[in-house]
């Protein structure tokens, strides 16, 4: 074993994005109590300005390794967001399943506004009450 904790090891669940975020976090706030480079850790603790100067110098040197014409990726995701289908009729009522018993289509055109919709028993009770 390497002596590191299981929580410090890489796992397949880590994506490139999470690894890069971890690197940025370490660069922003280095762990000086357990440095990978002991000399750099000592310099950071004792002479932080010299450490920052050395880091800037190393960054400029590493920029020389970038191929000519290379376009730096942006913060935007590389994948294309799927276009959501605008289905405005999704919630619209449909009469496709209304006629499950095979009734006549002409029934749909009937106007029931003038008709009493009560049951025959209710009508008989109302007539008895009137009398």
What is the secondary structure of 65-121 as a DSSP string? TSPTTPPPP-SS-SSPPPPPP--TTTTS---TTT-TT---GGGGG---TTS--S-HH
Asked if the structure places residue 100 within a domain, the reply is no
* CB of 32 closer than 8 Å to CB of 41: yes
- 73: tokens are 């990726």
pTM beyond 0.75, yes or no:
no
Q: Could you read off the pLDDT of 17-71 as tens digits, one per residue?
A: 888 888 888 777 777 777 888 898 899 889 999 999 999 999 999 999 999 999 8
Q: How confident is the model at residue 109 (pLDDT cuts 50, 70, 90)?
A: low
Domain count, the chain: 1
Asked if the structure places residue 17 within a domain, the reply is yes
Asked if the structure places residue 46 within a domain, the reply is yes
Asked if the structure places residue 86 within a domain, the reply is no
Asked if the structure places residue 87 within a domain, the reply is no
Domain that holds residue 53: 9-63
* CB of 26 closer than 8 Å to CB of 37: no
Whats the size of the chain, residue-wise? Answer: 131
Q: How confident is the model at residue 105 (pLDDT cuts 50, 70, 90)?
A: low
Asked if the structure places residue 113 within a domain, the reply is no
Asked if the structure places residue 112 within a domain, the reply is no
Q: How confident is the model at residue 106 (pLDDT cuts 50, 70, 90)?
A: low
């Amino acid at each position: 074993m390497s002596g590191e904790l299981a929580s410090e090891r890489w796992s397949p669940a880590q994506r490139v994005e999470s690894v890069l975020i971890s690197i940025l976090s370490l660069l922003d706030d280095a762990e000086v109590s357990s440095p990978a480079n002991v000399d750099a850790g000592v310099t950071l603790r004792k002479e932080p300005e010299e450490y920052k100067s050395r880091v800037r110098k190393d960054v400029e040197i590493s920029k020389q390794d970038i191929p000519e014409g290379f376009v730096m990726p942006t913060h935007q995701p590389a994948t294309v967001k799927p276009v959501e289908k605008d289905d405005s009729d999704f919630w619209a009522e449909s009469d496709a399943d209304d006629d499950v018993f095979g009734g006549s289509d002409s029934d749909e055109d009937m106007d029931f506004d003038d008709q009493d919709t009560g049951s025959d028993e209710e009508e008989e009770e109302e007539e008895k009450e009137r009398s």
